[in-house]
């Protein structure tokens, strides 16, 4: 009977370890997926900001050119 209890205990411990490992792995995968989603969102926002900055830079260059043109027109 002791031999049966020993193997039953070993089987229980092994199954518990598998269950814990599965739970931890599943949790890690969920966290990893959430982090990837956050990184994608941040990357998209950064890309959008880069595009806005580029547009603003173009607008400022156009404004600078207009101001320069206006100054030369006044001098004439």
Domain boundaries, the chain: 49-76
Q: Check pLDDT > 90 for residue 39.
A: yes
Whole-number pLDDT of residue 2: 75
The span from the CA of 51 to the CA of 58, in Å, is 11
Whole-number pLDDT of residue 70: 79
The span from the CA of 20 to the CA of 30, in Å, is 15
Q: Residue 4 — very low, low, confident or very high, per pLDDT cuts 50/70/90? A: confident
Three-state DSSP class for 29?
A: helix
C-alpha torsion angle, residues 12, 14, 20, 26 (rounded to 10) = -130
With residues binned 3-state (H G I as helix, E B as strand, rest as coil), the percentages for the chain, rounded to 5, are: 95, 0, 5
């Amino acid at each position: 009977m002791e031999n049966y209890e020993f193997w039953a205990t070993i089987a229980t411990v092994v199954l518990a370890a598998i269950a814990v490992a599965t739970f931890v792995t599943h949790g890690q995968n969920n966290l990893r997926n959430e982090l990837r989603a956050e990184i994608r969102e941040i990357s998209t926002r950064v890309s959008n900001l880069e595009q806005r900055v580029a547009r603003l830079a173009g607008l400022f260059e156009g404004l600078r050119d207009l101001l320069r043109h206006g100054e030369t027109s006044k001098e004439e």
